[in-house]
Structure 1
Amino acid sequence: MKRRLSCLVAVVGVLSAGCGIGSTGPVRAGAPASGLREPGSAHHYAQLYFVSPYGIQAVTREVDAPLTPQQALDLLLKGPDAAERARGLITEVPPLDWRLVAQGADNAVDLRLPVSVADMTRGGGLGLSQVICTAANAQASDSEQSSDVDVRVYEEGYETPWTVRCNAAGNVVPVPDP
């Protein structure tokens, strides 16, 4: 019995000594975290949506001043920059003969498409999501999310708009009629 007790104490002592990994100090693992706004900073960012092999993806670009929805769309239509292309990002917004028009209003954006939705979604279907989510994010204030912004889409050939929102994953979801 004494022998079992002393063996048990020895085993518990060995186990409580640790797993054999010594203590370490700070380990360098790359650049510090980035991407979040510093409170009170004078930096402004535009959030644009491009397409990656995994679906739609938001990218953040530093800009000189806050952008209107129209300015954000104009920047989106220029396509991904070299660094974004190197990460595999592309655009599925088709070349347009006419300009997309986006006008912000209280918690909403009026988006006028110069073509039908069928034409906007050729190629892969995410071009329209890129446009809607980019416009919604430009209209969202610092205290709200893009999912709080209604985007009223006026499609070529139709007089009545349909209303959607961009959720946190960059997916376009319909807004039910009140």
Structure 2
Amino acid sequence: MTGRNGTRARRAGATRLAALLAAGALLALLLTGCGVRPSAVVTGRPAPDGPAMGIRLYLVWHGQLAPVTRPVKQHLSREQVLRMLAAGPDGYERSQGLTTEVPPDLVPTAPPSSRAESIGLTVTMSGAVTTLSAIAADQIICTASGMAAEGQKPAPVTISGPDGSRPPRLCPY
């Protein structure tokens, strides 16, 4: 009988020890917090009046593509949106650290089109496109392909200019 009682006592002690360790781990977790540091208040734009319409531009934030929705009051064509992209970030977007690598004079010379001989969408620009940075090209590609009709699969975008064309590419974002 002593053997059984000794085993029971050891099991009870092991159970108590496990419970104490679990409680200690939980207490340590609660005391250390979640690791999120406090920050200043991040403000946004005022809420839109009425139904919200917006277009999505792809700007650059810390060297990465960043989708930005700009409110608009009317429907804009791809050509108009690409001209907005070439104009760069507005004052608010600049204050948030957004930039662009698309040259301001690089605008579409015609509405983007889908041609039978090419895959997807072709955007013909006013200036050199083969020397664009990869990020500038992706800004144009993502902005142009982001305007696809709802439910439509994204198509590769070819950027053409007086110096040639870049190969068709899907938006990497």
1:90 correspondence with 2:94: no
Q: Could you tell me the TM-score, scaled by structure 2's length?
A: 0.63
Per the alignment, residue 124 of structure 2 pairs with: 112
Q: Could you tell me the TM-score, scaled by structure 1's length?
A: 0.62
Query: Which structure dedicates a bigger proportion of its chain to helix?
Result: 2
Per the alignment, residue 153 of structure 1 pairs with: 159
The Cα shift of 1:71 comes to: 1.6
Unaligned runs of 5+ in 1: 22-28, 32-40, 170-178
Q: Which moved more, 1:49-58 or 1:11-20?
A: 11-20
Give aligned-pair identity as a percent. Answer: 25
Unaligned runs of 5+ in 2: 1-5, 31-37, 42-49
* SS of residue paired to 2:11: helix
The Cα shift of 1:72 comes to: 1.0
* SS of residue paired to 1:126: helix
* SS of residue paired to 2:168: strand
Largest Rg, 1 or 2:
2
* SS of residue paired to 2:111: strand
Cα RMSD, aligned residues only:
3.7
* SS of residue paired to 1:90: coil
Per the alignment, residue 88 of structure 2 pairs with: 79
- Residue-pair matches, total: 147
Q: Structure 1 CA distance, aligned partners of 2:110 and 2:69?
A: 22
Q: Structure 2 CA distance, aligned partners of 1:125 and 1:93?
A: 10
In structure 1, what residue type is equivalent to 2:55?
A
Query: Which structure dedicates a bigger proportion of its chain to strand?
Result: 1
Q: Structure 2 CA distance, aligned partners of 1:16 and 1:168?
A: 45
Q: Structure 1 CA distance, aligned partners of 2:106 and 2:166?
A: 23
